[in-house]
Amino acid sequence: MLNLAILASGRGSNMVSLVEAVKKKDLPVKIVAVVTNKTGAPCLDKAEDLGLPSYCLLPKDYNSRLEYDRALAGFLLEKGVDTICLAGFMWLLGAEFVSGFRGRILNIHPSLLPAFPGLEAQKQALSYGVKISGCTVHFVDEGLDSGPIILQETVPVLTSDTVESLSERILIKEHEIYPRALGLLALGKLKVFGRQVEIMK
Ligand code: GRF
């Protein structure tokens, strides 16, 4: 059984897709906490609607990024968390945090990594003029959107696309692959060999 925390800063649609999958597929996952770093983030209301314990840890209450990371890690460990899903969490976790939960932090990114890491990935894809984009679920390492890739899904980029329309098309796929990746992790089906993630039958 995984003791999962979902970290989110915004709308929380991926958080909802994870929570629904855990219930629907009866995954061996206990969602221990939803944590945000933004006051009034919509994901908090959604967590409440779903009956999940939610918490807000604000960076402004700490003196440095390291201090925030340590407080967050301490908080999560206190709650018994062993696995973390980042779902639009607007904060770059530092090396110390990442090494404390190595191989136990997942992230979803709205591009086909390694293309377009960082902010506004859909805008980057449109500006570059790619014909295909998509989304990636990966393990988190010390870099920016750079950890071993678990699952990816593609979507076409249309000439008529706006950032909004492309983001919407990608989001549909995000809601498919993130729960699938969590399920694979929970069922012990992911084996990591360096950068390669093997999915066991
Ligand atoms: C998603 O596009 C995700 O890929 C990115 O942040 C966005 C979060 O959206 N990391 P939501 O809050 O899950 O709706």
pLDDT 10s digits, 11-41:
999 999 999 999 999 999 999 999 999 999 9
pLDDT of residue 46: 96
Q: How far is the CA of 64 from the centre of ligand 1 (A)?
A: 25
Nearest atom (ligand 1) to Cα of 107: 10
Q: How many CB atoms lie within 10 A of CB 96?
A: 12
Tell me the catalytic residues.
Answer: 109
Q: What is the CA radius of gyration of the chain?
A: 16
Start-to-end CA span in the chain (Å): 19
Please, which residues bridge with residue 132 across strands? Answer: 156
Place of tokens 């402004």: 60
Using most ligand atoms within 8 A of CB, pick from 36, 107, 109, 174 the residue to mutate for ligand 1: 174
CA–CA dist 51, 163 (Å, integer)? 33
Nearest atom (ligand 1) to Cα of 10: 12
Q: Ligand 1 site: residues with CB under 6 angstroms?
A: 8, 10-15, 87-88, 108-110, 174
Q: Is 26 exposed, middle or buried (0-12, 13-18, 19+ CB in 10 A)?
A: exposed
Q: How many CA atoms lie within 13 A of 3 on its CB side?
A: 10
pLDDT of residue 66: 98
For atom 8 of ligand 1, the residue with the nearest CA is: 88
Kindly list the distances between the CA atom of residue 112 and the CA atoms of 134, 138, 178, in Å, as whole numbers in the listed order. 5, 11, 14
Nearest atom (ligand 1) to Cα of 17: 13
* Token representation of residue 28: 């061996």
pLDDT of residue 114: 98
- The runs of H, that is alpha helices, within the chain are 13-24, 42-49, 65-78, 95-100, 121-128, 163-186
How high does pLDDT run on average in the chain? Answer: 97
147: confidence class by pLDDT, cuts 50, 70, 90? very high
Please, which residues bridge with residue 107 across strands? Answer: 86, 138
For atom 7 of ligand 1, the residue with the nearest CA is: 88
Average pLDDT over every residue of 98-123: 98
CA–CA dist 103, 85 (Å, integer)? 11
Q: How far is the CA of 175 from the centre of ligand 1 (A)?
A: 10
CA–CA dist 109, 111 (Å, integer)? 6
Query: What is the tens place of the pLDDT at every residue in 173-194?
Result: 999 999 999 999 999 999 999 9
pLDDT of residue 27: 97
* Token representation of residue 188: 């012990």
Q: How far is the CA of 42 from the centre of ligand 1 (A)?
A: 12
Place of tokens 């249309």: 158
Q: How far is the CA of 88 from the centre of ligand 1 (A)?
A: 4
Q: Do residues 19 and 31 make contact, with C-beta atoms less than 8 angstroms apart? A: yes
